[in-house]
Amino acid sequence: MLQLTVLREQTEHVIAGLNKKNYKNAAEEVAALLELDQQRRQIQNEHDTLQSRANSLSKEIGMLMKNGEREKAESAKAETSELKQQTKSLAEQLSSLEDEIQKALYKLPNLPHESVPFGKSADDNEVVLEHGQIPQLHEGAQPHWELIQRYDIIDFELGNKVTGAGFPFYKKQGARLQRALINFFLDEAMKAGYIEVQPPILVNEASGYGTGQLPDKDGQMYHATADNLYLIPTAEVPITNMYRDEIVPVDQLPIKNTGHTPCFRREAGSWGADVRGLNRLHQFDKVEIVQITLPERSYEALEEMSSYIQGLLQKLELPYRVLRLCGGDMGFTSALTYDMEVYSAAQGRWLEVSSASNFETYQANRLKLRYKTESGKTQLLHTLNGSALALPRIVAAILENNQTPDGINMPKVLHPYLGFEKIG
């Protein structure tokens, strides 16, 4: 959530940043929000003045009664009673305005970092680097949705029977590949200094607001209405919310956590090759990495996270590229995002498998996640997260890129986790 002080003091900068993210009616909404803030401050000032007067009168009443000035004391009591009614009315107005301001702030996305390129869609993203050789497949090579049927390792029809579209069953070597990737990703994260946590996969509304999924993605999250709990779209939500309403000692920074969870997203369901098979699911597994850092270290941490994720892709022997997302393709809460895409040889296109983002103070402001400076002043921390990695498209690329006429070779780094070297 953007800070009101930033909106007041850097209004043009805020509007320019919102425009870079293609946020509609940025100038009008910022002006309206600042007008609400001005009203709130005026009422707060009036409330405080009347409250101070009422407190002074309360002290005077005792002295007047003690001095026998009963008439003046009664007059002061009457004025105090009137002041209490006025302050109560002003307090109610304040509460209503603060709720309105909070709702308006929740609607505004984070401001993009200065390095974020202008653009409206994925076509405008900037390619930062490419790594690896595009594999040359044998004649008759198949996309993963045909390979999984051929080797009977993932079953979409069974998932559709038991749950619905986008909830596949992983079977036999497919299930073992899932487990191997999860364990490999977790082991690598711990080697890199991340602490493993196993968080709940249901979160409350406060957690959804804390990391910015609510209200922005309300319709895209599965909602257990009876208990007002949400199935998580990513482990980022519970892991980051571990530190909601905390003042973190500086000597504990940076905080580096990792966790594996299933993830649930309702937005899947369109048609075509882009979302066929494992390309987009309602439920999928992902290992997430989360960092909480001092503000001056957060962009160094982002580069570190990007390099770490690239290292995983290199160990899996997958060709990949890194994109810096443009303003129009960035997430609601992000200040700067790198997407990592692997090349799918059978599909002949790039598949996004990871995003690493710096949220700066946007989530921390919602979470009230802070630290104290050497002078004792309380400041907001910076939060970051990255997918390391999301499994479905990694599995798709491994199956497609490593297929041969007589089976699918597995990356060498996974052999100790799998117990086999080839599917088929």
Residue 368 located in a structural domain: yes
Residue by residue, DSSP assigns 377-421 as -EEE-EEEEEEEEEHHHHHHHHHHHTEETTEEEPPGGGHHHHS-S
> Which pLDDT value is given to residue 273?
57
Answer yes or no: is 297 within a domain: yes
Is residue 355 part of an annotated ligand binding site? Answer: yes
Co-location of 59 and 198 in the same domain:
no
Better pLDDT: 209 or 276: 209
Domain assignment of residue 114, yes or no: no
The mean pLDDT value of the chain amounts to 95
Q: Is residue 105 reached through a cis peptide bond, with omega within 30 degrees of 0 on the bond before it?
A: no
265 among the known binding-site residues?
yes
For residue 31, what are the contacts with CB-CB under 8 A and spacing of at least 6? none
Cross-strand partners of 256: 291
Q: Over 80: is that where the pLDDT of 269 sits?
A: no
114 annotated as belonging to a binding site for a ligand? no
* Residue 60 pLDDT: 82
Q: Which residue has the higher pLDDT, 378 or 55?
A: 378
On the question of pLDDT at 48 being above 60, the answer is: yes
Instruction: Give the model confidence (pLDDT) of 182-210 as tens digits.
Output: 999 999 999 999 999 999 999 999 999 99
Domain match, 87 and 127 both: no
**Helix, strand and coil percent figures for the chain, each rounded to 5:** 50, 20, 30
In one-letter notation, the amino acid at residue 355 is S
> What is the rounded average pLDDT of the residues 147-165?
97
What is the mean pLDDT of the segment spanning 388-396? 97
CB 215 within 8 A of CB 106: yes
The residue-averaged pLDDT of 308-327 equals 98
Q: Are residues 177 and 308 in the same domain?
A: yes
* 250 labelled binding-site residue: no
Do 78 and 215 fall within a single domain? no
- % of the chain residues with pLDDT over 70: 98
Residue 67 lies in a domain: yes
Predicted TM-score (pTM) of the model is 0.93
The pLDDT of residue 393: 97
pLDDT in tens, 59-111: 788 777 777 777 787 788 888 888 989 999 999 999 999 999 999 999 999 99
Q: What is the mean pLDDT of residues 116-136?
A: 97
| pLDDT tier at 270, thresholds 50, 70, 90 | low
Q: Among residues 398, 419, 354, 412, which one has the least CA distance to residue 147?
A: 398
What total of structural domains would you count in the chain?
A: 2
Is 358 annotated to bind ligand?
no
Report the 10 Å Cβ neighbour count for 387: 25
Looking at residue 145, which CATH number applies to its domain?
3.30.930.10
The average pLDDT across 274-290 equals: 93
Q: Give the domain extent around 328.
A: 122-423
Give the pLDDT band of residue 246 (cuts 50, 70, 90): very high
Q: Is 366 helix (H, G, I), strand (E, B) or coil?
A: helix
Residues 353 and 384 both lie in one domain: yes
Going by the DSSP 8-state scheme, the letter that residue 2 receives in this structure is -
Return the beta strands (E) in 101-180 as ranges: 126-131, 154-155, 169-170
Q: Would you state the pLDDT for residue 77? A: 82
State yes or no: pLDDT of 268 exceeds 60: no
**Are 126 and 100 within one domain?**
no
266 annotated as ligand-binding: yes
Q: Please check the confidence at residue 11 and state whether its pLDDT lies above 80.
A: yes
What is the C-alpha to C-alpha distance for residues 43 and 348, in angstroms, rounded to an integer? 61
Q: Please answer whether residues 371 and 269 qualify as being in contact, where contact means their C-beta atoms are separated by less than 8 angstroms.
A: no
As a whole number of angstroms, the distance between CA 410 and CA 402 comes to 7
User: Measured between alpha carbons, how far apart are the two ends of the chain, in Å?
Assistant: 50
Amino acid 272: pLDDT: 56
